[in-house]
Chains A and B, each alone.
Chain A
């Protein structure tokens, strides 16, 4: 059973959304996303913001792990670098928040490329451990520069609208009125994040469709064969590392804006890296849909998982964060054993059922 409709012309192959159903799904999805902050309560808009941060972070990891096949446990390190770049530049130099996003991306990308140089000689396991070491090193560096990062006690993240000088500068955090509609901070943040998340999804989708992404996938599937066919594995891996870490840096800056106050550990530890891996496994490795669906499912189900966890016997002895970790670990294990393609695989099954109806296959 084919997973996509038969392609008969070059134009069809180039189309972003192959058929009317994809276009309809995109329009409906975007409409829901736009209406969400006006319909949901402040708490759930907050959850939505966290979900959008997770979408950008998961897309970043998807490029590296899903497309290029490089297992990274260092995602938290790149997010931490992005977040702290945003905080330090905003706090010490008074840069406006829209400048902080690219700056965070740049700092994380530089580190990512440096790690990428190691990655050229390593595969699978060793890379996972090096990136794990990166998390510990970044934590150490951030904690040992207290005059910049506030050390253990953390640092606030300002969101100036312009270059901040003496006195109080106008901030993105203030409630603003736009054409008679009152927008609270979390709603404004939501629209900013939505824009960034859509842009990232588009970029990732296009990377997947172009020769860059196909080179990455060739390296993932069999690097020797890829090299023999003229793909430069070095270039593909470095590009994947650079792109992934810069997007992770942006996600880190978004995380910082949402949290408003940063400490090193938690949240930037191995647990965070594992969470992102869980998201892309849950969603389906190697697909843009998987990263988005996995991140959304993970973030929106976390509050739910905490409620379920406190109702279950024995689990009520854990903290709420641990409860959701346990439930997600169980879910991810089940997916790995029974449905390796994650939510994307489930969706394919549903789709095939309806495409083939009334036949069973």
Chain B
């Protein structure tokens, strides 16, 4: 029972991170129908910026804010320089484009910070644990879950109530009509990317807290968040968050229970388990949990 509880809590903590990553994808996808394969690299740059800032002696919370803003700017730059000229080209082109932008960013990160992993300090004791309902949980996991929840709430408030959020929703429905109504779609897209970049940086930072560390391969976690995007439904923010939590939980539970049951085949099975779930979903319900069903018009 304690094991189950322990796994549930750490699964939910991982799930919140997946939800943050997946939400970044969905934000960009809803706004511009671009699936950003470079998202993982934004994650890495956010975490490295944070590591550099804390090493330079900047207070922790200030460093957090700085790296969020810097990553947001980086994402907006990517949108302005690389993607804006290609508006209206086939979906295929943007997929390839973001893949290669990702490779360039990854190289940039390695050039700037090197390939060695480094730890990320925290204001509290990094290895501290607390007792929750009889299960030992890392303070880091709890803080990650809390920060993730706050960020998700902030995102939904932004989308629902702010002027920018309304503009974002309008642009995602129909760019031409939005333009005709006087919404600066270009700037709104830039802002969307900046928000997605900030979500990515936040996910990257909390992902690299103890027991993990900041290294250049952090971006691969974005690959693991893809299934959450698909399972949740590509254009549904709520569905994505649900799916992120669900897949994080499933992954940790699979690690705890399924891996052993499968014998030699189960070694590291939990890393591909989200993909298995995703394939099942695609076979039975291709538009995901809460996504809109694709309608073909002739």
Chain A residues engaging chain B, CB cutoff 8 angstroms: 65, 69, 71, 118, 121-126, 128-130, 132-133, 136-137, 140, 143-146, 224, 228, 270, 274, 277-278, 281, 285, 314-315, 317-318, 322, 325-326, 329-330, 332-333, 336-337, 340
With beta carbons under 8 angstroms apart, the residue of A126, A277, A285, A314 that contacts B282 is: A126
Q: Are B271 and A133 in contact (CB under 8 A)?
A: no
A115 closest partner in B (C-beta)? B279
In the complex with contacts A325-B103, A336-B86, A125-B272 CB distance below 8 A: no
Q: Are A125 and B85 in contact (CB under 8 A)?
A: no
In the complex with contacts A71-B95, A125-B91, A224-B296, A140-B282 CB distance below 8 A: no
Chain B nearest CB, measured from A148 CB (Å): 11
Q: Are A336 and B96 in contact (CB under 8 A)?
A: yes
User: Would you mind naming 30 contact pairs between A and B with Cβ atoms under 8 Å apart?
Assistant: A71-B92, A71-B95, A121-B282, A121-B286, A123-B294, A124-B95, A125-B91, A126-B234, A128-B35, A132-B223, A133-B227, A133-B275, A137-B276, A140-B268, A140-B272, A143-B267, A144-B264, A144-B266, A144-B269, A224-B298, A277-B96, A315-B107, A317-B110, A317-B114, A326-B107, A329-B103, A329-B104, A333-B97, A336-B93, A340-B89
Residue interface mask B219-245, A partner, CB < 8 A = 1: 000010011011000100000000000
With beta carbons under 8 angstroms apart, the residue of B93, B96, B111, B279 that contacts A314 is: B111
Chain B nearest CB, measured from A218 CB (Å): 15
Task: Tell me if B99 is interfacial: C-beta within 8 Å of chain A.
Answer: yes
Q: Are B100 and A130 in contact (CB under 8 A)?
A: no
B34 closest partner in A (C-beta)? A125
Beyond known contacts A128-B95, A129-B229: 14 more, CB 8 A cutoff: A125-B91, A126-B230, A126-B282, A129-B278, A132-B226, A133-B227, A143-B267, A144-B266, A144-B269, A145-B265, A224-B296, A314-B111, A329-B107, A337-B86
With beta carbons under 8 angstroms apart, the residue of A136, A224, A270 that contacts B275 is: A136
With beta carbons under 8 angstroms apart, the residue of B85, B100, B223 that contacts A332 is: B100
A66 closest partner in B (C-beta)? B92
A71 to B98, CA, bound (A): 14
A181 to B134, CA, bound (A): 79
Chain B nearest CB, measured from A340 CB (Å): 7
A333 to B107, CA, bound (A): 15
Chain A nearest CB, measured from B75 CB (Å): 17
With beta carbons under 8 angstroms apart, the residue of A125, A132, A145, A318 that contacts B234 is: A125
Chain B nearest CB, measured from A120 CB (Å): 10
Contacts of A318 in B (CB 8 A): 107, 110-111
Contacts of A144 in B (CB 8 A): 264-269
A69 to B275, CA, bound (A): 23
Chain A nearest CB, measured from B274 CB (Å): 9
Q: Are A336 and B97 in contact (CB under 8 A)?
A: yes
Q: Are B227 and A281 in contact (CB under 8 A)?
A: no
Q: Chain B: how many interface residues by the 8 Å CB criterion? A: 44
Task: Tell me if B283 is interfacial: C-beta within 8 Å of chain A.
Answer: yes
Interface centre among A118, A144, A224 (most CB of B within 10 A): A144
Contacts of B158 in A (CB 8 A): none
A332 to B93, CA, bound (A): 11
A316 to B207, CA, bound (A): 29
Q: Are B279 and A130 in contact (CB under 8 A)?
A: yes
Contacts of A130 in B (CB 8 A): 278-279, 282
In the complex with contacts A71-B95, A129-B226, A314-B111, A140-B103 CB distance below 8 A: no
Task: Tell me if B137 is interfacial: C-beta within 8 Å of chain A.
Answer: no
A281 to B97, CA, bound (A): 10
Chain A nearest CB, measured from B128 CB (Å): 34
Task: Tell me if B82 is interfacial: C-beta within 8 Å of chain A.
Answer: yes
Contacts of A325 in B (CB 8 A): 103, 107
Chain B nearest CB, measured from A111 CB (Å): 13
A146 to B264, CA, bound (A): 9
B276 closest partner in A (C-beta)? A137
Q: Are B110 and A277 in contact (CB under 8 A)?
A: no
**Shortest beta-carbon contacts, A-B, top 7:** A133-B275, A329-B100, A329-B103, A326-B107, A124-B91, A144-B265, A140-B272
Report B241-298 residues with CB < 8 Å from chain A CB.
264-269, 271-272, 275-276, 278-279, 282-283, 286, 294, 296, 298
A143 to B264, CA, bound (A): 10
With beta carbons under 8 angstroms apart, the residue of A281, A315, A336 that contacts B111 is: A315
In the complex with contacts A69-B92, A322-B107, A333-B82, A133-B99 CB distance below 8 A: no
Chain A nearest CB, measured from B21 CB (Å): 14
A280 closest partner in B (C-beta)? B96
Task: Tell me if B101 is interfacial: C-beta within 8 Å of chain A.
Answer: yes
Chain B nearest CB, measured from A271 CB (Å): 8
